[in-house]
Amino acid sequence: MKEGIHPTYEPTTIKCICGFAMDIRSTRSDLKVELCSNCHPFYTGKHKLIDTEGRVEKFKKKYGLKEK
């Protein structure tokens, strides 16, 4: 490997707004994120798929699909 062209990896702390902190090594110093695996709705099981605009019904009406 060539000398002087590679970034230095230093200990870094990633902090989420929920309070979770993770220590890793990175080329950047301390990072702050809005979502992590501890508070993201998809990972916590609180994820809800909501058809707020009636897209499914609109599609069925447009193409004349009937439920079986």
| CA-derived radius of gyration, the chain | 23
Chain center to CA of 49: 16
For the chain, which ranges sit under pLDDT 70?
41-53, 65-68
- Which CATH topology does 10-63 take? Rhinovirus 14, subunit 4 (4.10.80)
3-state secondary structure of 19: coil
Euclidean distance between CA atoms 60 and 68, whole angstroms: 12
pLDDT of residue 2: 83
Q: Structural domain boundaries of the chain?
A: 10-63
Strands (E) across the chain are located at 10-16, 21-26, 31-33
CA 24 to chain centre: 18
pLDDT for the residue 43? 66
